[in-house]
Structure 1
Amino acid sequence: MTAATDLRDLLAGATELTIVCHNNPDPDCLASALALGRIAAAAGVDERRILYSGEISHQQNRAFVNLLDVDLATLDPESVRDREEGSLLAFVDHAVPGANNRVPEGTPVDVVIDHHPHDALDARFVDHREGVGATATILAEYVRELDVDLDGTLATALLFAIRRETLGFLRGVTRAEYDAAAFLHEAADADLLRRLASPAVSGATADAIATAIEHRTIRGSTLLSNVGRTSERDALPQAADYLATLEGVETAIVFGIVEDTVQLSARSTDSRVHVGDALGDAFADVGNAGGHREMAGGEIPLGIFADDAADGDALCDLVATVVTARLADAFGLEGVEGEEETEE
């Protein structure tokens, strides 16, 4: 028996499958959900749905949903807690109820497929491969082994997700990604891949990235930047990706206030640094943070900073001071204050 056949056998006994994406799902999560739905259909599951929380704000993620016509619905947390017999709950590209999703903590999960770092996971079926570069790689393997129909939409979704998650096969890539790409290539739509790779950028995203560039602080090979308030959550990882390419920079961390949370995004090519562990150590007591050695993120409820004396600019200043101090401590940076500063 293999993981793929174990999953098929579990699905074959179900009447319904609910696939929950993480908050603000990216192509790796969305493509994995799409593939799991196809596998479930092939196993005879008649009722299937893909749910998500948060927003799909990144222009590439919006293009992915629109161009591939991914059928999504908004998550009702209570609807997944109390399920009838034969109704399965699956997580793809995340793993724990209440962590980067709005599923109530303690909710039983039937299927977990993920490549992010985690401790022990609890589900009837778990395929957790921290060593691979993308969750979509795992799903592509299942599709191939189970001989699930691979049309242009599914092949394009999985191939684009793998390319995006590994930054064009340059970050965290393994032999498994190349094997998956070889399998998917012939069925994928090359024109659609190009359109997905070059979506239009909103003005708000450009403004947030410009702010991140302007407010950068560099100590040694580590860069920090605070964008203040922004409506574009997904501008932060885009800014981190760009700032990590600056000459002399090996680690870039960008943070900002998005609605009622502080969002963080980190990138690193420094073999001495595990940015996922560093962010987890810095913020685990106040929010959710972590990820891979080269790519990580975090979310902190803004409520922990709010009081009668902190609002508007004062709140932004308080967030900048506290977050910068924690990052400076976690990454061993000297002379970094909460003030915005640029060092060339």
Structure 2
Amino acid sequence: MLPPEEQPTNGDAEDGADEQAGPKNPPRPKAEVTEQLSKLRWVLGGAESALVLTHDNPDPDAIASAAGLGFLIERISGVPVTVAFGGIIGRAENRSLMEELGVPFERIETVNIASDTAIALVDTQPGAGNNSLPPGRAATIVLDHHPLREGNDEPAAFIDIRPDYGASASMIVEYLRAARLEPDRKLATALFYGIQSETMDLGREASEADVAASIFLYPRTDPAAISRIRHARVPRGVYRSIHEGLERAWSRGDVVFVPLGTLEYPDLVAQLADL
């Protein structure tokens, strides 16, 4: 038993409970986001158009963040925006999300990128190896929640990387609020779903910023659309691949190995990992 002077007071106990309970990392101060927004507007000043590019085979967070960033850029700069991706949209929920969102996404190989086009990478970074940034072109804008890649020698004019956030979509929400831009129901639904998907309903690597963004978005969402996205019809081949993978699975300690062989969709790997 601790001596009286070393025993925790009720306040100390409550502080300890607070330290252990709930997500950390609050949203960025409004003044900081507003300053970043002004810099973003300045960076876009000389552009005649903008390209928002996600990582290849984009997931819900990337899809929603790209749509949100495109909306933000158009509104604060007035330049036309193309949203593009590399790879494919294979997972049923991702296809359903894009259908509900209604924003045209182009395949990067079909996009003609002019010399005065500002290129924005979202939910990815230069040199990450998971995006289709054309060779010889540098990103103007980088916005991502993944850790900064060491040795990245491709600096952009505008960089906002926040590894303490659980989703890039939460960063987009902060910018929209700083710009006093109200997302319509489709965009709000996509951003909300992107955060929930990326953080497993705020249960995985979620920050207070992700919670705050979700609280802001939820009253603006379409719950029926969220249900349609979450419960999108899955092709029979997906179940076959999952079944075959589980049949072949073996474990060593806490690690499970699942040989999947040839897959119809690359993101089946992530889908199986989420089980």
Answer whether TM exceeds 0.5 for this pair: yes
Q: Distance in 2 between matches of 1:143 and 1:78?
A: 26
Please tell me whether residue 99 in structure 1 is matched to residue 129 in structure 2: yes
Please state how far the C-alpha of 1:26 moved relative to its aligned partner.
Answer: 1.1
The 5 Å alignment of 1:43-62 reads 43-62=76-95
Identity of aligned residues (%): 29
**Which runs of 5 or more structure 2 residues have no equivalent in the other structure?**
1-33
- Change over 3 Å in CA distance of 1:136–1:78 after alignment to 2: closer
- TM-score (normalizing by structure 2): 0.82
Summarize deviations over 1:165-210 as a string: whole Å, max 9, x none: 0011111111010010111111111111111111111111111111
Please state how far the C-alpha of 1:77 moved relative to its aligned partner.
Answer: 8.0
Identify the residue that residue 84 of structure 1 maps to in structure 2. Answer: 115
Q: Distance in 2 between matches of 1:111 and 1:224?
A: 37
Contact map agreement 1:32 1:93 (CA 8 A) in 2: yes
SS of equivalent to 2:74: helix
The 5 Å alignment of 1:225-264 reads 225-242=258-275
Question: Which of the two has greater helix per residue?
Answer: 2
- TM-score (normalizing by structure 1): 0.66
Identify the residue that residue 100 of structure 2 maps to in structure 1. Answer: 67
Summarize deviations over 1:249-306 as a string: whole Å, max 9, x none: xxxxxxxxxxxxxxxxxxxxxxxxxxxxxxxxxxxxxxxxxxxxxxxxxxxxxxxxxx
Q: Distance in 2 between matches of 1:20 and 1:78?
A: 11
Q: Provide the alpha-carbon RMSD of the alignment.
A: 1.8
Please tell me whether residue 111 in structure 1 is matched to residue 153 in structure 2: no
Q: Distance in 2 between matches of 1:159 and 1:233?
A: 24
Aligned counterpart in structure 1 of residue 229 of structure 2, from 196, 203, 206: 196
Q: Distance in 1 between matches of 2:80 and 2:271?
A: 36
Please tell me whether residue 181 in structure 1 is matched to residue 214 in structure 2: yes
Please state how far the C-alpha of 1:9 moved relative to its aligned partner.
Answer: 2.8
SS of equivalent to 2:273: helix
Aligned counterpart in structure 2 of residue 29 of structure 1, from 47, 53, 62: 62
Q: Distance in 2 between matches of 1:10 and 1:45?
A: 13
Please state how far the C-alpha of 1:212 moved relative to its aligned partner.
Answer: 1.5
Counterpart of 1:84, as a letter, is S
Name the structure, 1 or 2, with higher relative contact order (CA <8 Å, separation 6+): 2
